[in-house]
Amino acid sequence: MSDIILKGGKDGFSVIFNENANYDDALKELKELIMQQNVKSTNENDDAISFTIKTGKRLFTSQQKESIEGFFEKYPQLELKDIESDVEDKKNVKELFDANKTNVESGIVRSGQRLEYKGDLIFLGSLHRDAQICATGSIYILGEVSGIVQAGFPDNPNAAIFGNLKGIDQLRIADVIEIVTDDNREDFQDGKFAFINDLHAISVDDLKNYKDKINDLRKRTD
């Protein structure tokens, strides 16, 4: 049984690796097939021949991917479009899980403390002045806050801060900072949400308007 199968299509060739094949043997066979295609494309004015490597339920290591990419780089008339797998790397799965999970914090965050979370955060506790809570996703405040609240850390402008914004000292969303002073404190009350508007500044609105406001922003960025 061949270690690889070559299939042609309108978008180029698909190279299917046998999931149980020895990698070195399969790579050798791949090189031989690719060399045959390269011989057929010797005119530099010809369009590049595209290849997509499909590994099924097998994951290549970074070194294995680099060896394939390095081989294709030697032949400008051959293009490696992608190396596809039907399974995800454990690290990628963990990162995806962390980004989409919801954390719950009900404790007291005292002055000088900084708590960090991956994903969204429901905050039920008490945030003292000069303390900070920080999440990569959105933050839902149901407790009492007097310190710094940062959502979308470090670079997620689509995150928002919801709920009881009364008493908050400073909001941060991604790289945008809003300092709450006596002049604007009346804007930050319970039942509000803060978000980054289309001018890349923090705005505050009533929670009941969240759906319409976010839909408008998405339309502007599409």
Report the DSSP pairing between strands 192-196 and 202-206.
antiparallel
pLDDT digit string, tens, across residues 173-198: 999 999 999 888 898 999 999 999 88
In order of their start, the domains of the chain are: 4-87 (no CATH), 97-207 (2.160.20.70)
The helix (H) or strand (E) run that includes residue 67 is helix 62-73
- The distance of Cα 10 from the centroid of its chain, to the nearest Å, equals 31
pLDDT digit string, tens, across residues 11-34: 778 888 887 778 888 888 878 877
* Whole-prediction pTM: 0.58
Mean pLDDT of 148-176: 94
Is 214 a residue whose pLDDT tops 90? no
